[in-house]
Amino acid sequence: MARPGFVLTVDDRTPPLLVPEGDGLRLQSFPVGTEVVYPADTSGRRTDPGTAIATALEQGLDTGSLAERLQPGQRLTITVTGLQEAPGHGVDPRRRVVEQVLELAARAGVDDVVVLVANGVGPRPTDRQLTELLGERVVRSFLADGRLRSHDALDRSRLRELVPGVELDARVVESDLVVDVSVARQRADDPGRTLLENVSALPTQRRLRGRDAAAEEVAADVVAAVAALPLVSVVLVLDQVSHPPALEFLGRREWEWKLRDRLAWFGLRRLADLSTDQARTLLQAPADRGLVAVAQGSSAAAGEWARARLAEQEQVRVTGQADVLVTGVPHRTPFNPGAAVDPLVAAWSALAGGLGATTGRPAVRPGGAVIAFHPLTPSFSARVHPASADFYADVLGVTTDPAEVAGHEDRFAEDEWYASLYRHHHAHAGVLPFQLWYELAAARAGVGEVVWVGADRAVAARLGFRAATTLADALEIVSDSVGRTPTIRHLHTPPGLVTDVVGG
């Protein structure tokens, strides 16, 4: 049986609690009275993937059976998005959906079929990753003749304007039917908008995820573009398992750890001391994630359905806003596939990903403090995040103001080296650090001090934050703004959770 999330109040009997700090973990003692928000344990909610997917494709939320939409002579495109969700241990459920859609298309006599894997400005998948995602049978049947490919946001020959201001992959624009297969993410957006972000040209993506992404003009263009697409959305909701089988104990509550779990913990800490890279590889190994639910329908219906399903397993109700919010940085984020969590990604994770994970009011009061755990080591992956080191040195070295930062974006977006690494070497596009900065800056706008425990002081200062050696030191630093006896709330992640703040 799955267990719901809950709030624990720390007392004298509470053991040290697990706090992630990117590539590492620590057991941290918290002051008595701290509220610790635990996410739900959803591993007991799994369903049989084959049966659930077949039922969803037959019984749409508001579009009827997918088989009835398939006709001979159609141009069918199956888009696979949501690649930020790493494939789980075993057969990826997205592969099962694609296989069943292909079988339905074959029965209906649909011959013109393309499978388009799209990751926006994120790394384009390698052939090996395509096989892990879709299985050898699909890759062998479709890759050689170009019917399986990954979207390229910079390939002008394969981009077409759908509506004014929105350029997408030409195959999507010219299709008679688009079946989008995605995994619902925390605080799920409308699947139609998410699809646009993943299959659009770079200039369009910059508008959709830029500093002015919330503008009414952009919102109107999104609505018009989604309405113009012959789109069916297939959305999968996975459980909250976030650690590989060898480290499954890390997902349990600390007072439930058995002797073998404590021995495994000491072994993991010893490995981290000897080799950070090996510890990261172990932490980022595929987790044993299972399918909780799946549905297909229009973009609007699928989005509403996904938000309701995610709320069941992610939302935890808390009372009022705290003076201090304490959070860690998980080992896996949407932006560090196989790479270390660098300072920019860590800041995004704590602020946009943690502080911003709420149904309405933030979990910390206006002017309150955020304390996060991460070393903020000034090291950036040249393979995955080639632009981040230059952004950190050349842009943040001058300003942290989002409006001034935006003035540097064109140079990074048009840089031929970043473009080549994105197109041919499976790296993020050069605009990624700007998108992260806009989102984290918006999330932190309402809070006061942001202090990083165990962080490099120079790096924290460049990012506009402060650093402390211990949690006690961090609480001392923020005491001028929150007082000597603040209310403290700790988000015990991963897996992710969304706070539902009620009352005062």
- Read off the pLDDT of residues 409-428 as tens digits, 9 standing for 90 and up: 999 999 999 999 999 999 99
**Cα atoms in the Cβ-side hemisphere of radius 13 Å centred on 41:** 11
By percentage, how much of the chain surpasses pLDDT 70? Answer: 97
Does position 194 have pLDDT exceeding 60, yes or no? yes
- The C-alpha atoms of residue 34 and residue 52 are separated, in whole angstroms, by 41
pLDDT at 1: 45
Q: What phi, psi does 91 have (nearest 5°)?
A: -80, 125
pLDDT of residue 2: 62
Three-state secondary structure call for residue 101: helix
What letter does residue 190 receive in the DSSP assignment? P
pLDDT at 251 over 90: no
Overall pTM surpassing 0.85 (yes/no): yes
Structural class in CATH, domain 44-238: alpha beta
Average pLDDT, stretch 358-377? Answer: 93
Check residues 201 and 23 and name the one with the higher pLDDT: 201
pLDDT the model gives residue 342: 95
Respond yes or no on whether the N-terminal peptide bond of residue 495 is cis (omega within 30° of 0).
yes
Mean pLDDT value across the chain: 91
Q: How confident is the model at residue 296 (pLDDT cuts 50, 70, 90)?
A: very high
Cα separation of 14 and 353, whole Å?
Answer: 27
The 10s digit of each residue's pLDDT in 207-237 is: 988 888 777 788 888 889 999 999 999 999 9
Highest mean pLDDT among 100-114, 181-195, 228-242, 357-371: 100-114
CB 125 within 8 A of CB 206: no
pLDDT class of 405 with cuts at 50, 70, 90: very high
**What's the average model confidence in pLDDT over 167-196?**
90
At which residue do the structure tokens 């509470």 appear? 14
Asked: is 6-33+320-502 a CATH 3.90.226.30 domain? The reply is yes
**Whole-number pLDDT of residue 113:** 97
Segments making up each domain of the chain, as ranges:
6-33+320-502, 44-238, 243-286
Between CA 273 and CA 191 the distance in angstroms is 42
Closest CA to 228 of 162, 167, 296, 303: 162
Q: What residues contact 78, with CB distance under 8 A and at least 6 apart?
A: 98, 101, 102, 113, 114, 115, 116, 178, 179, 180, 181
Looking at the chain, the whole-number percentage of residues with pLDDT higher than 90 is: 70
**Mean pLDDT, range 460-480, rounded to an integer:** 97
